[in-house]
Amino acid sequence: MKVTIAQINTTNGDLAGNTAKIIQAIEKAKADGSDLVVFPEAATHGYTSQDWFQDRDIIAAAGEPLKAIIPATAGITAIVGTVRENADDDGRRLFNSAAVISNGELVGFADKSLLPEYDVFDDPRWFEPSPAGSHRLFEIAGRKVGIVVCEDFWNDKTFWKERLYEVDPTDEVISLGAEILVAINASPYNKGKIRLRCDMAAHRAKLQKIPIVFVNLVGGNDGIVFDGASLIADEEGDIILQAPAFEEFVGTVELDAGRPDARGITGGEISSIHSALVLGIRDYAAKNGFKKALLGLSGGMDSALVAALATEALGPENVLCVMMPSPYSSAGSISDSEELIANLGCEGRIEPISEAFGLLAKQLKLDAPVRGGSSLAAENMQSRLRGLILMAISNNEGRLLLSTGNKSELAVGYCTLYGDTNGGLAVLGDVLKTEVWAIARELNDRAGREVIPVRIIEKPPSAELAPNQKDEDSLPPYPVMDPILEMYFEQKASPEEIVAAGHDRERVYWILNKVEHPANEFKRQQLPPTIIVSKNAIGVGRRRPITHKYRR
């Protein structure tokens, strides 16, 4: 039996465009002589359509894409992730489904049963769970094929130490006699996820002695990035087809060939984060109609990395780096920035703020900034003037403004609202400062040259809003702070668990109380969409009130 993985990049609400991609992949599968072609979850509509799935006109027209897809399946079977209307009066109005279409006929649907509502997921808000006794077993090319939708595959009691649900729809479909298992997914990227999926699918295939076809969505949608990395495991648990990560892929394999795929997923986690950020920038710009971008280039590490990632995503001819020196900018901030711009081949522009800052500071009778932060209003005014200039250029030239703050800063509020937080997309908002350095070094290694000058990588971090200012005047060193933030955000560890891991008690409580301070939550809730690369990231998956009295 020949099976085709159709790992496509969909756009929310682009029913015509998504349908065209589906039909194109069906034709490719036919040309390959495939018996079955499999698409990701909600491929017709876009999985992250959110409350569009509650609109009556969208619900009423849910089946429209299939009308174009069904005739295209002459001579082949397709499993297509879609949504379908719930005809009952009770419950949510849509099912999240896999449509089974064979030789020009709609055979039936396998509906999603387990509806996640953690991290970035909120399925129960939009979808009704699969009715009891729902059909999930279909005969395709003479084989009994069990079909499950995303979360229905992720509850294997032999793989997970802790589970979120008592039932396991995948076990149920295997018990019905499935000879092949197909899982369609919209599984977002986060650190460690690619390896986890491979291990999970291979474990179940080997244990149950059943081939598994695991197809995942690829592409950026707002801040959520889907990495693809779809795979097919044979009954021995060997991966016989491994789709590349972070790119579209349509590929076919003979299911019974028994030849492991030698490609695998190459590169380490830092390389994967790099690729996720590039894809996130590229898709956010393209899907929102931007061809060009800009950012403020300070001569520091964060903006340098964003500039490098943006040129990779959009092409250097489409990226503008704006240098905005103030009275407190170091001599190297311009020279290092100019060297980076030359290395990248993008456009550079200098827009000084010293004169405007001096006039406004005098008008408002603000004290001059000094090291130690005694005049935060004057410090923040510089950042806000830069934000004003960048937004004016964005409006005037139709460029997407990329925000450059990193997760370590945003977590503890070391940023200026309406200043360096301005923008249409927060590129590094889920990337810790230590990871920023690691990605910069990996980027240079990948290029085989010094794209980001080593001077920028090695200089002490500074906002340069006051004389001789350094980040460590206000914050613990990033190599000390970041492991604490990682445990808090990504492992949801309690303060005492973090202390027990070897971190200083006073520092742990200071950092966590900074993170959870209402003023800093107020800032974070006004950030642009953030490209997510970790679990429980700053962004749509983390929900905290601004107004509260909780204290650690």
The residue written with tokens 């789709």 in the block is: 243
The answer to whether 298 and 464 have CB atoms below 8 angstroms apart is yes
- How many residues are present in the chain? 552
Give the residue ranges of DSSP H helices in 72-229.
169-175, 193-208
Q: What's the rounded Cα separation, in Å, for the pair 270 and 229?
A: 16
Side-chain-side CA neighbours of 503 within 13 Å: the count stands at: 26
Q: What's the rounded Cα separation, in Å, for the pair 285 and 307?
A: 14
Among 208, 249, 213, smallest CA distance to 231 is for 213
* DSSP per residue, 354-419: HHHHHHHHHHTTPPPP-TTTS-HHHHHHHHHHHHHHHHHHHHHHTPEEEE---HHHHHTT-S-TTT
Q: Which of 2, 41, 312, 442 is catalytic?
A: 41
Three-class SS of residue 234?
Answer: coil
Q: Which of 2, 112, 287, 292 is catalytic?
A: 112
Q: What's the rounded Cα separation, in Å, for the pair 98 and 16?
A: 19
Token pair belonging to 456: 């920028």
Q: What's the rounded Cα separation, in Å, for the pair 115 and 534?
A: 21
Q: Which of 2, 21, 128, 150 is catalytic?
A: 150
Cα dihedral value 389, 390, 396, 401, nearest 10:
-170
- Any catalytic annotation for residue 292? no
- Any catalytic annotation for residue 150? yes
The answer to whether 137 and 176 have CB atoms below 8 angstroms apart is yes
- Any catalytic annotation for residue 41? yes
Among 310, 518, 519, smallest CA distance to 416 is for 519
29: region left, alpha or beta (phi > 0 left; psi from -120 to 50 alpha): alpha
Q: What's the rounded Cα separation, in Å, for the pair 535 and 436?
A: 17
Active site residues: 41, 112, 150
